[in-house]
Amino acid sequence: MILVAEVDCFIYDSHSLKQKRSVIKRIITRLKNDYNIAVSEINHQDLWQRTQIGLVTISNDKVQAERVINQALKLIDSFPEIERGTTDLEWL
């Protein structure tokens, strides 16, 4: 089973694309290292206060896949410089 999460986020204290990329890179690195999931910025690359991050996990157990994605979302929420907005989950 494949679970995909598309997460819209706002970075209010970012005043340039360089600052935004610094925040996004730190979050993506932590997600990949801590949860062994595929992560990428998938939208709004040219906006400096908004981003959309895609998370993907594959598992033979639906409950395990949901657990991993939910833990990853909690990690995103733990960063004070970013606010998670709309999150869409989709099973493939």
Class of domain 2-91: alpha beta
Which residues have CB under 8 Å from 60's CB, separation 6+? 1
Distance CA 82, CA 92 (A): 28
Please give the model's pTM, rounded to 2 decimal places. Answer: 0.93
24 in Cβ contact with 50 (< 8 Å): no
9 burial (CB, 10 Å; 0-12 / 13-18 / 19+) is buried
Q: Residue written as tokens 């733990």?
A: 78
Distance CA 22, CA 87 (A): 22
39 burial (CB, 10 Å; 0-12 / 13-18 / 19+) is buried
**pLDDT tens string 43-64:** 999 999 999 999 999 999 999 9
Return the domain boundaries, the chain: 2-91
pLDDT in tens, the chain (92 residues): 999 999 999 998 899 999 999 999 999 999 999 999 999 999 999 999 999 999 999 999 999 999 999 999 999 999 999 999 999 999 99
